């Protein structure tokens, strides 16, 4: 029986999966789930997906709610991995990296569309527009290196990205003069028959809806923005690398949960890494040297020979695949893996909600976060409580990469919105189990205390 696919073509991530199913000839049974009719909020739907998002895939007893995981799961299940989701470890890591990039781009588009549709914000702030334009800038850099986003072949990462970028382009035009490679790539994607049949209609419908809510459609002239990718400190005194060059280099910010999750994994797998602390407050991640390593200027970054990976989730899966002795942390079984991947993408969501509180405090002096942001952060525990209602760990009965990733983030969220043991007993018990592990004691505790001390200076909670 074909898997059931719950979707609404207004949604860019739904359209991405629809395009991929068309391109790869993957059979799914479409179940129309109208967002505007709140069908994703029905009791029945919430039982399957507590996060109430579309798309959602139901394949027998397996339920996946995240477009990226649906894409990787379906390509694996139907044996369509080459060249769409290559089996080769390095190439696959590059595709995964761009899928996580889409997750970030999605949140930046959503930061414009949701306040417009649900809170009456007709004119987005310069800040959210700049954040979106910054993503075009990153894409341009990726596409200056390779023809498609993850190499010289089209992959599911291109399909994932064109879904959201086609909608982003209806809000803030991707200017061909400034972003020629990106526009050429968009044109290539637009030529594909799967784009015509599965993206166009939903994209146009969404554009018409957004037109009623946003005053800026097509009128944002990005040349008027003061945004400049090179605003970071020009030259840094600190040279990266403390010791002799080793094969595996890891650039970290120990206070950040993303870095701590990788440190915990390295401890479990006993991997020797050349650790390089990036001076975040000295803006070293914004220097041209660092941007050469990672145009996204995020930390952590792993350098393994000729491969450079940014995004903690991709680093976690790559290191486990390459250096894991057994497969318990990231099993080979396609269904089990999909459940872990789903929680890794969940981590990107809660990480972002955490940053929505911490970044304005540190960067713009916003000492008191809005009630809305705090409620969103608190919702993390509602989700984890649901996840943990049937399993001991976050993605099953044993410890996996998902626990390291979500655990590091939750430990930080706990310092912003304390975890109430009475209200969230399962989450509390899971967290206590993690805290007792030696990898947590060695690799999470110190960074957590550091960041908690810093945040105390910046936030009135």
Ligand X SMILES: N[C@@H](CCC(=O)N[C@@H](CS)C(=O)NCC(=O)O)C(=O)O
Return the biggest CA–CA distance within the chain: 61
Dihedrals φ, ψ of 248, to 5°?
-105, 115
Least CB distance to ligand X at residue 102 (A): 7
Name which of 37 and 328 has its Cβ closer to ligand X: 37
Least CB distance to ligand X at residue 79 (A): 23
- Look at residues 395, 431, 426 and name the one whose alpha carbon lies nearest to residue 64: 395
Name which of 342 and 437 has its Cβ closer to ligand X: 342
DSSP string, 351-396: HHHHHHHHHHHHHH---S--HHHHHHHHHHHHHHHHHTTT-SBTTB
> Any residues with CB less than 8 A from the CB of 207 and at least 6 apart, and which?
167, 170, 217
Note the residues at the interface with ligand X (CB under 6 A): 11-13, 35, 40, 52-55, 66-68, 103, 106, 345
Name which of 49 and 437 has its Cβ closer to ligand X: 49
Per the annotation, the verdict on 256 as an active-site residue is yes
Q: How far is it, in rounded angstroms, from Cα 11 to Cα 351?
A: 22
Name which of 252 and 349 has its Cβ closer to ligand X: 349
Q: Residue 282 corresponds to which tokens in the numbers above?
A: 């000295």
Least CB distance to ligand X at residue 367 (A): 29
Place of tokens 């914000």: 121
Name which of 330 and 345 has its Cβ closer to ligand X: 345
Residue 83 is given by DSSP the state H
Q: How far is it, in rounded angstroms, from Cα 66 to Cα 282?
A: 36
Dihedrals φ, ψ of 422, to 5°?
-70, -40
**Hey, is 30 helix, strand or coil?**
strand
8 Å CB contact between 95 and 155: yes
- Look at residues 59, 11, 63, 49 and name the one whose alpha carbon lies nearest to residue 32: 11
> Any residues with CB less than 8 A from the CB of 76 and at least 6 apart, and which?
85, 334
Least CB distance to ligand X at residue 150 (A): 17
Least CB distance to ligand X at residue 38 (A): 9
Conformation bin of residue 2: beta by default, left when phi > 0, alpha when psi is -120 to 50: beta
Q: How far is it, in rounded angstroms, from Cα 395 to Cα 355?
A: 24
Least CB distance to ligand X at residue 105 (A): 11
Name which of 198 and 415 has its Cβ closer to ligand X: 198
Place of tokens 């497969």: 327
Least CB distance to ligand X at residue 376 (A): 11
Q: How far is it, in rounded angstroms, from Cα 36 to Cα 372?
A: 22
Least CB distance to ligand X at residue 345 (A): 6
Dihedrals φ, ψ of 276, to 5°?
-120, 115
Angle at 13 between CA 228 and CA 260, to 5 degrees: 65
Considering the candidates 7, 160, 256, 259, report the single residue annotated as catalytic.
256
Query: How many helices (H) and strands (E) in the chain?
Result: 19, 8
Name which of 104 and 229 has its Cβ closer to ligand X: 104
8 Å CB contact between 96 and 313: yes
Q: What are the catalytic residues?
A: 256
């Amino acid at each position: 029986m074909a898997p059931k696919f719950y979707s609404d073509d207004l949604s860019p991530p739904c359209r991405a999966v629809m395009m991929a199913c068309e391109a790869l000839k993957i059979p799914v049974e479409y179940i129309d789930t109208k967002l505007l009719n709140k069908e994703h909020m029905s009791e029945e739907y919430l039982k399957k997906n507590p996060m109430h998002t579309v798309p959602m895939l139901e394949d027998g007893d397996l339920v996946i709610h995240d477009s990226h995981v649906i894409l990787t799961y379906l390509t694996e299940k139907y044996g369509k991995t080459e060249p769409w989701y290559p089996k080769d470890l390095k190439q696959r890591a590059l595709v995964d990296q761009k899928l996580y990039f889409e997750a970030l781009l999605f949140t930046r588009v959503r930061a414009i569309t949701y306040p417009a549709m649900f809170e009456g914000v007709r004119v987005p702030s310069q800040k959210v527009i700049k954040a979106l334009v910054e993503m075009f800038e990153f894409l341009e850099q990726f596409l200056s290196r390779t023809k498609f986003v993850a190499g010289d072949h089209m992959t599911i990462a291109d399909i994932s990205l064109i879904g959201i970028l086609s909608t982003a382009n209806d809000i803030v035009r991707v200017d061909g003069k400034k972003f020629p490679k990106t526009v050429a790539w968009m044109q290539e994607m637009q030529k594909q028959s799967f784009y015509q049949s599965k993206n166009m209609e939903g994209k146009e419908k969404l554009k018409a809806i957004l037109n009623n809510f946003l005053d800026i459609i097509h009128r944002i002239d990005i040349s008027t923005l003061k945004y400049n990718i090179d605003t970071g400190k020009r030259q840094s005194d600190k040279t990266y690398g403390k010791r002799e060059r080793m094969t595996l280099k890891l650039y970290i910010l120990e206070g950040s949960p993303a870095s701590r999750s990788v440190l915990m994994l390295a401890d479990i797998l006993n991997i020797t890494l050349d650790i390089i602390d990036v001076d975040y407050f000295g803006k070293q991640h914004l220097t041209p040297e660092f941007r050469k390593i990672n145009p996204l200027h995020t930390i952590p970054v792993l350098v393994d020979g000729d491969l450079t990976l940014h995004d903690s989730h991709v680093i976690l899966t790559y290191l486990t695949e390459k250096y894991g002795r057994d497969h318990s942390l990231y099993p080979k079984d396609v269904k089990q893996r999909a459940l872990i991947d789903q929680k890794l993408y969940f981590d990107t969501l809660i990480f972002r909600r955490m940053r929505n509180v911490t970044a304005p405090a540190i960067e713009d002096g916003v000492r008191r976060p809005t009630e809305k942001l705090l409620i969103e952060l608190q919702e993390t525990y509602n989700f984890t409580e649901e996840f943990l209602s049937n399993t001991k760990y976050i993605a099953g009965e044993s410890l996996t990469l998902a626990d390291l990733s979500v655990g590091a983030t939750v430990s930080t969220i706990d310092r912003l919105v304390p975890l109430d043991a009475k209200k969230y007993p399962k989450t509390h018990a899971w967290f206590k189990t993690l805290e007792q592990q030696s990898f947590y004691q060695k690799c999470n505790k110190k960074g957590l205390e550091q960041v908690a001390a810093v945040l105390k200076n910046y936030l009135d909670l």
